[in-house]
Amino acid sequence: MDKPYSQACENNKGPILDVLKVRLDGSRRLLEIGSGTGQHAVYFAALLPHLQWQTSDRLENHAGINAWIDYFPAANLHRPICFTVGMDKWPGGDFDTVFTANTTHIMQVNEAQQMMQMVAEHLPDNGVFCQYGPFNIDGQYTSDSNQAFDQQLLNQGFGGIRDIAELQSWVAGSGLTLMQRIQMPANNQMLVWQKLI
């Protein structure tokens, strides 16, 4: 089959990798929530060989992810498992790291909340969660384009851009702590969380 393609993935993979290289230096086993086209997974896994990269997504996206893996195989890159937040239980695998890109604003609000709480529950002590995408800060959009994008998302039935304070409120008391907020290209951000007990 033809591989699915996202221009956004091509545009942001370099800046994201720069963050992951630093923040995931001590990580060993990563779960990617919402692998999408599979472009991120094949790119990052090849350049982070110390990390076992487990892809996951809805079943209908598996063929596309597998097409990318077939084209760019890597010993540390694993074929997708079925995992849909709000439907499936947390997958087994003793993951010490979670990565997700451009998923939080697609999910319904209750699904985004459940994802945060599942990550908080299942990450081990000192585990890391890297969450990429557009986020609001203190109730404000970070750009006019993000405000327009959010309205488009809501019109299409998606949950929309979440506020960072809202994410923090959902995991209050769990030990999952926002350690760093990194400004990324195209008005996106990387939120780096760590499980601190």
Tokens of 54: 């487990």
Residue 115 lies in a domain: yes
Is position 40 within any domain? yes
What pLDDT score does 117 carry? 98
Distance CA 139, CA 142 (A): 10
- Chain-centroid distance of CA 5 in Å reads 18
Residue 169 belongs to some domain of the structure: yes
Per-residue model confidence (pLDDT) at position 1: 64
The pLDDT of residue 93: 87
The interaxial angle of helices 7-23 and 39-47, nearest 10 deg, is: 30
Does residue 2 form part of some domain?
no
pTM equals 0.97
**Residue 1 belongs to some domain of the structure:** no
Mean pLDDT by 10 residues, the chain (197 residues): 91 97 97 98 98 97 98 98 96 95 98 98 98 98 98 98 98 98 97 95
Asked, for residue 114, whether it belongs to a domain, the answer is: yes
Q: In whole angstroms, what is the distance from residue 34 CA to residue 68 CA?
A: 15
- The boundaries of the domain holding residue 53 are 7-195
Number of domains the chain contains: 1
CA angle, 35 then 15 then 21, to 5° = 80
